[in-house]
Amino acid sequence: MTVQRILTAAGLTGATTSPLGGGTYNSVFRVSAREGEFVLKMSPGDQPGLTYERHLMRTEALFCTLGSKVAPVPEVVYADDAALLATCLPGEPVFGRSDVDRPLIRRELGEAVKALHEVTGPGFGYPQLGLHETWTEAFFGMFDAVRADAERYAVKLPTADLHRHAKAFDEVRRPALVHFDLWDGNVLADTGLTGLVDGERAFWGDPVAEFVSLALFGSIEDDEDLLRGYGFEFTGSARLRLAAYQAYLYSIMLVERVPRGNTDEAMESMITGALTRALGVLA
């Protein structure tokens, strides 16, 4: 479906569009219409990707529908398998900004993430791939899929045996709504927190997994403001699971470089170093 057909299907009138930067997988547009301001995301179609990168528009629509009830998340206006039109939230990404009260925003972010994690799903895993009865089964399958993607794209990944730590994952009994991509580029703010966007990689799982992107390449335990806003205290098993989720995300970031044609060697080195450190915790 073309952009204009989507806008018509959504009931927008007098609409104009302009490209928005920052998207690494989908095409993203700002839409101005008589009815208000919106953001339109369109999938790349048959572009090569990873196993979990299927029907992401549906997943993000689900995330927005549920998340907007409890946190500053865009509301869905129109969605199908290839596109998502949602309300445009105020504020700008906090990435690279020095004009914000970061301690305040991190505390508010902790509160918002906590609210998201209180939303409970019908099972564990990526909704677009089919759900599992246990988090252990779901997450081990997610990791196996990335390893299979690595073989498909001829990427050598260092690995660790997660099965020896199965009891730590068995502790997760409730499937929480996890965004899994809340780095600073997907957090909006003005004088305070205004939005959490780009929920296409969301899944039902362990809330601890959220802390990977919230402290990308760093340690969430150094972020006292966010943890205070969330009200979270780490246990030994939670730290172990966090290392596994770090290894999972950094594995994704290494493998996806191939289908996306990313040749930044400095970034590759940074991701590899972070992956190696995470696997060291699991050794």
* The pLDDT of residue 72: 98
User: What are the Cα distances from residue 97, in Å, to 188, 192, 193?
Assistant: 11, 13, 13
* The pLDDT of residue 22: 59
Would the pTM count as exceeding 0.85? yes
* The pLDDT of residue 44: 75
* The pLDDT of residue 123: 98
Q: Return d(Cα 77, Cα 161) in angstroms, integer.
A: 43
Average pLDDT score over residue span 47-54 = 88
DSSP class of residue 74? P
Contact criterion met (CB below 8 Å) for 174 and 83: no
* Tokens 């690279």 found at: 96
Residue type (1 letter), 110: G
pLDDT in tens, 183-237: 999 999 999 999 999 999 999 999 999 999 999 999 999 999 999 999 999 999 9
Burial class (CB in 10 A: 0-12, 13-18, 19+), 22: exposed
CATH number belonging to the domain at 92-282, selected among 3.40.30.10, 3.90.1200.10, 3.40.190.10, 3.90.1660.10: 3.90.1200.10
CATH fold for the domain made of 3-87: Phosphorylase Kinase; domain 1 (3.30.200)
Question: In percent, how much of the chain has pLDDT > 90?
Answer: 89
Q: Return d(Cα 131, Cα 121) in angstroms, integer.
A: 10
pLDDT in tens, 59-68: 999 999 999 9
Q: Is the pLDDT of residue 24 over 60?
A: no
Average pLDDT score over residue span 79-107 = 96
Average pLDDT score over residue span 174-184 = 98
The residue extents of the domains of the chain are 3-87, 92-282
Q: Is the pLDDT of residue 273 over 60?
A: yes
